[in-house]
């Protein structure tokens, strides 16, 4: 594991502790306690003053102060790691060309304004068609694709709805896709809440993250691309998109013809992780991030 990944992991762990501390703080200020405080402060004239309430109020303040102190201490201790994490994220953001954005490197298109409407349209998908869509996609993939494709459905919620799946391509890459369901008026909307790619042989659950930088970078591209997929067909489009990486280890960069190319001091050498549809013949071409400059990206 590189120094940067260790540093980011440390920062993430500390952030978890900070969030737990915040939760603790929030939990210590209950509605009941607030009501007690209010009663104490606005007690009418002539009524006796309940000393136990002031005692409780003092205890509450002490608890809150203790939490705040610990929070501030952790925040100070983690300052360097947070700054580093922020700088790394910013650098990645800046160095990252945009994926499939029309005829040039414009801004990543915003979600269409009728996005909510589109999401409503996949109601059925959320309820009972999802299994059918996944099954049909898998049958088609096994028939059409010359490489191995496997898909495992994972978990159901209390209403029997699928919580996610793990899909793998060509014993090269696999992806964990987590799903959530959001009630919206009378309909239920299916949302892809998380996607993460892994090396085929990594033993990971769908909600975990890869230990390998290459797959962490592909995951970042996948998260970006989620916003740009047709929300009505998000599952099949996402599966097709991930499948473009079946030749991750065997397709050299279309520009420099190399497999490994130096990216930046953090990532060092990486395989070409960009997949672009060829303007000429519709074939999927691979590029290193740095080799994309000047490549015109057309929509699929
Ligand atoms: Zn290249």
Residue range 211-232, pLDDT digits in tens: 999 999 999 999 999 989 998 8
Cβ–Cβ < 8 Å for 130, 235: yes
Q: Which of the pair, 132 or 116, is modelled with greater confidence?
A: 132
Least confident residue range of 18-32, 41-55, 61-75, 184-198: 41-55
* Per-residue pLDDT at 77 exceeds 90: no
Between CA 212 and CA 196 the distance in angstroms is 12
Euclidean distance between CA atoms 50 and 57, whole angstroms? 11
What's residue 110's pLDDT?
A: 43
Stretch 249-267: mean pLDDT? 92
**Gap between the Cα atoms of 87 and 90, Å rounded:** 5
Residues whose CB is less than 8 angstroms from the CB of residue 287 and which lie 6 or more positions away in sequence, other chains included: 253, 254, 255, 272, 274, 276, 295
ipTM of this complex > 0.95?
yes
Q: 19-28, 71-80, 116-125, 244-253 — which one is most confidently predicted on average?
A: 244-253
Q: Where are the domains of the chain?
A: 3-86, 101-292
Residue 57 alpha carbon to ligand 1 centre in Å:
65
The Å distance, Cα 292 to ligand 1 centre, comes to 8
What pLDDT digit, counting tens, does each position of 28-46 carry? 766 676 676 666 665 654 4
Ligand 1 centroid from CA 255, angstroms: 5
Question: 258 CA to middle of ligand 1, Å?
Answer: 6
Q: How far is CA 291 from CA 77, 100, 276, in A?
A: 39, 15, 12
**Exposed/middle/buried for 66, CB within 10 Å: 0-12, 13-18, 19+?**
middle
| Gap from CA of 261 to ligand 1 centroid (Å) | 6
From ligand 1's centre to the CA of 256, what distance in Å?
4
Q: If pLDDT is split at 50, 70 and 90, which confidence band does 113 have?
A: very low
Which residues on adjacent β-strands are paired with residue 277? 284
* Per-residue pLDDT at 124: 45
**Cα(289) to centroid of ligand 1, in Å?**
7
Residue 264 has pLDDT above 80, yes or no: yes
Is pLDDT of 48 > 80? no
User: What confidence tier does 100 reach under pLDDT thresholds 50, 70, 90?
Assistant: very low
Q: Which helix (H) or strand (E) is 276 found in, with range?
A: strand 274-277
Is the Cα dihedral 178, 182, 187, 192 positive or negative?
negative
Q: What pLDDT band is residue 102 in, cutting at 50, 70 and 90?
A: very low
Query: Is the pLDDT higher at 91 or at 254?
Result: 254
If you measure from the C-alpha of residue 248 to the centroid of ligand 1, how many angstroms do you get, rounded to a whole number? 13
- The confidence band for 105, taking pLDDT boundaries of 50, 70 and 90, is very low
CA of 267 to the centre of ligand 1 (A): 15
What pLDDT score does 111 carry? Answer: 45
Q: What are phi and psi of 65, to 5 degrees?
A: -65, -40
Q: What is the mean pLDDT of residues 8-13?
A: 75
CB-based contacts of 108: which residues, under 8 Å, 6+ apart? 98, 99, 101, 224, 227, 228
Whether residue 277 has pLDDT greater than 80 = yes
């Amino acid at each position: 594991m590189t120094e940067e990944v260790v540093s980011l992991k440390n920062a993430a762990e500390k952030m978890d502790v900070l969030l737990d501390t915040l939760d603790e703080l929030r939990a210590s200020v209950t509605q009941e306690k607030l009501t007690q405080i209010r009663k104490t402060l606005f007690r009418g004239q002539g009524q006796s003053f309940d000393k136990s309430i002031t005692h409780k109020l003092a205890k509450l303040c002490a608890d809150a102060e203790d939490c705040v102190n610990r929070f501030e201490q952790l925040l100070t201790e983690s300052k360097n790691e947070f700054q580093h994490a922020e700088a790394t994220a910013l650098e990645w953001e800046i160095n990252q060309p945009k994926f499939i954005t029309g005829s040039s490197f414009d801004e990543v298109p915003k979600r269409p304004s009728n996005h909510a409407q589109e999401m409503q349209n996949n109601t059925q998908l959320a309820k009972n068609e999802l299994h059918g869509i996944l099954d049909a996609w898998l049958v088609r993939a096994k028939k059409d694709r010359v490489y191995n494709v496997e898909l495992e459905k994972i978990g159901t919620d209390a209403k029997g709805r699928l919580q996610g799946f793990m899909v793998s391509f060509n014993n090269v890459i696999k992806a964990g896709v987590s799903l959530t369901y959001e009630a919206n008026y009378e309909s239920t909307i299916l949302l892809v809440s998380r996607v993460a790619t892994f090396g085929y042989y990594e033993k990971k659950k769908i909600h975990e993250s890869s230990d390998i930088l290459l797959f962490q970078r592909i995951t970042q591209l996948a998260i970006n691309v989620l916003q740009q997929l047709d929300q009505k067909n998000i599952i099949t489009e996402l599966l097709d998109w991930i499948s473009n990486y079946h030749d991750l280890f065997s397709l050299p960069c279309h520009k420099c013809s190399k497999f490994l190319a130096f990216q930046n001091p953090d990532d060092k050498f990486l395989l070409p992780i960009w997949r672009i549809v060829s303007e000429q013949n519709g074939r999927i071409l691979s590029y290193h991030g740095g080799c994309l400059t000047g490549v015109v990206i057309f929509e699929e």
